[in-house]
Amino acid sequence: MERSSIIGHFGPYGGRFVPEALIAALEELDAAHQAAAIDENFQNELAHLHRTYTGRPSIITEAPRFGAHAGGARILLKREDLNHTGSHKINNVLGQALLTKRMGKKRIIAETGAGQHGVASATAAALLGLECVVYMGEEDTKRQSLNVARMKLLGATVVPVTTGSRTLKDAINEAMRDWVTNVETTHYLLGTVAGPHPFPTMVRDFHRIIGVESRAQVLELTGRLPDAVLACVGGGSNAIGIFHPFIDDENVRLIGLEAGGAGVETGRHAATISGGTPGVLHGTRSYVLQDENGQTVESHSISAGLDYPGVGPEHAFLHDIGRAEYRAITDDQAMHAFALLSKTEGIIPAIETAHALAGALQVGNELGKEAILLINLSGRGDKDVQTAAHYFGIPL
């Protein structure tokens, strides 16, 4: 497939829009990532951690009772929720934490929305003996208080961010400010496929394992490739991880589900590709929710992990060339799917993940019972029990 030849770009997207102070660190990181990618010792070390710590390979679970509501389509769930710490985020975190050690840095900082990336970062820091500071929007520290406590138990410092919309976007701003100041000793362990080069490429590479494993697993289980691969899209890391190994399989549809909030038409949403325009945010060019003056617009979603007005540049590119499709799922549609998977399969998904499940209900009904759908079950819903109980009126 034709992609831009300029390193770090995906067609017109990607690149580096950062203070000059960070360029040296980004170049160092890029070099470390490239060296690690072809270094057998590094790959073995990461694979060993994934086997003995993360719990990889993650399994595939068939979901026939859920599938009955999805036009009878065959639903295959890639169980990233069973990873240690409860989501796909650990794949990227362990990779970057090992790179941090290689670069001789002793401190990591991270942003977090749902808290999953923060928990994974705090976990890796504890495992590898690194200092860890997590920036989290004050709004999110309330929505995800359980994860705040988990991070603290793991020895991390959690800094509530009180600027702007007090969510993920502002946590990233604050992390960038810390990084500009402490870049010599500190690695910014960015949690998704956004940000300046090399993050979109590097984070994708650490998550490709999701797609590589599941492509082989689906082939073995069903004897063929799936008709569609579905994943929720916040920044887009779990989605690109499962999509990427399927990109050259032209007959496999790649479908990203964005957070439609109250509905894209209401303006209260976080569906960046469905409802945004090209622009620059947090160091990369991609789709952005912005106003006519180029100011970032606040996003809205019931899911803290999808509540972000940007998206990874590779998704912007896959969208523009028509290789992947992106749809918006409203809060209500996501919560319906959340409850349905819980009751039909005994799996409580993260609310982020529920957006992908709602997409599966739609696509299954469109394609019918011959279809095979592979869904990235990116995380488990324990952290969301409070939000869900509130939504469904369950007294706590």
Partner 1 sequence: MKLHEVFAHAKAENRAALIGYMPAGFPTKERSQQLIAAMIDGGVDIVEVGFPYSDPVMDGPVIQQAAEIALRNNTSARDVFDVVASSTVPTLVMSYWNPIERYGAAKFADDLSQVSGVGVITPDLTVEESENWINATDGQGIGRVYVVAPSSSDARLASVAAACSGFVYAASLMGVTGARTSISSAASELVARVRRVTDLPIAVGLGVSNAEQAAEVARFADGVIVGSAFIKLVQESATFDEAITAVRSLAQRLAAGVRRS
Ligand X SMILES: Cc1ncc(COP(=O)(O)O)c(C=O)c1O
Q: What pairing do the DSSP bridges indicate for beta strands 13-14 and 9-10?
A: antiparallel
Q: Interface with partner 1 includes 69 (CB under 8 A)?
A: no
Helix, strand, coil distribution of the chain in percent, nearest 5: 50, 20, 30
Q: Which of 78, 89, 105, 169 is catalytic?
A: 89
Whether 345 is catalytic is no
Ramachandran angles phi, psi of 320, nearest 5°: -65, -35
Q: Interface with partner 1 includes 24 (CB under 8 A)?
A: yes
Q: How many residues does the chain have?
A: 396
Total residues contacting ligand X by CB under 6 A comes to 21
Q: Interface with ligand X includes 299 (CB under 6 A)?
A: no
Q: Which of 78, 80, 105, 111 is catalytic?
A: 111
Q: Which residues of 260-276 are buried (b: 16+ CB within 10 A; e: fewer)?
A: bbebbeeeebbbbbbbb
301 touches which of partner 1, ligand X, none (CB within 5 to 8 A by kind)? Answer: none
In whole angstroms, the minimum distance from the beta carbon of 116 to ligand X comes to 3
In whole angstroms, the minimum distance from the beta carbon of 220 to ligand X comes to 25
Among 281, 304, 360, 377, binds partner 1 (CB under 8 A): 281
Judge residue 153's burial from the number of C-beta atoms within 10 Å of its C-beta, 0-12 exposed, 13-18 middle, 19 or more buried.
Answer: exposed
In whole angstroms, the minimum distance from the beta carbon of 176 to partner 1 comes to 4
Residues whose CB is less than 8 angstroms from the CB of residue 116 and which lie 6 or more positions away in sequence, other chains included: 85, 86, 87, 89, 147, 305, 350, 379, 383
Report the residue number, 87 or 330, with the smaller CB distance to ligand X: 87
Determine the residue with CB nearest ligand X: 379
Report the residue number, 26 or 120, with the smaller CB distance to ligand X: 120
Among 105, 204, 207, 282, binds partner 1 (CB under 8 A): 282
Count the alpha carbons within 13 Å of 64 in the hemisphere toward its beta carbon.
Answer: 0
Q: Which residue stretch of 62-70, 151-159, 230-238, 290-298 sits at the interface with ligand X (rule: CB under 6 A)?
A: 230-238
Q: Interface with ligand X includes 237 (CB under 6 A)?
A: yes
CA 182 centroid distance within chain: 26
Do residues 232 and 378 make contact, with C-beta atoms less than 8 angstroms apart? yes
Q: Interface with partner 1 includes 5 (CB under 8 A)?
A: no
In whole angstroms, the minimum distance from the beta carbon of 358 to ligand X comes to 14
Whether 80 is catalytic is no
Among 141, 238, 299, 387, binds ligand X (CB under 6 A): 238
177, containing H or E segment: helix 168-182
Beta bridge partners of 243: none
d(C-alpha 139, C-alpha 161), whole Å: 8
Report the residue number, 98 or 119, with the smaller CB distance to ligand X: 119
Cis peptide upstream of residue 309 (ω within 30 degrees of 0): no
Report the residue number, 32 or 119, with the smaller CB distance to ligand X: 119
Question: Of 359-378, which residues contact ligand X (CB under 6 A)?
Answer: 378
Among 8, 113, 261, 275, binds ligand X (CB under 6 A): 113
Which pair of tokens denotes residue 71?
């036009």
Q: Which residues of 331-343 are buried (b: 16+ CB within 10 A; e: fewer)?
A: bebbbbbbebbbe
In whole angstroms, the minimum distance from the beta carbon of 123 to partner 1 comes to 27
Whether 378 is catalytic is yes
Q: Among all residues, which ones are annotated catalytic? A: 89, 111, 378
* Site of interaction with partner 1 (CB under 8 A): 15-25, 163-164, 169, 173, 176-177, 180-184, 279-283, 285, 288, 290, 292-296
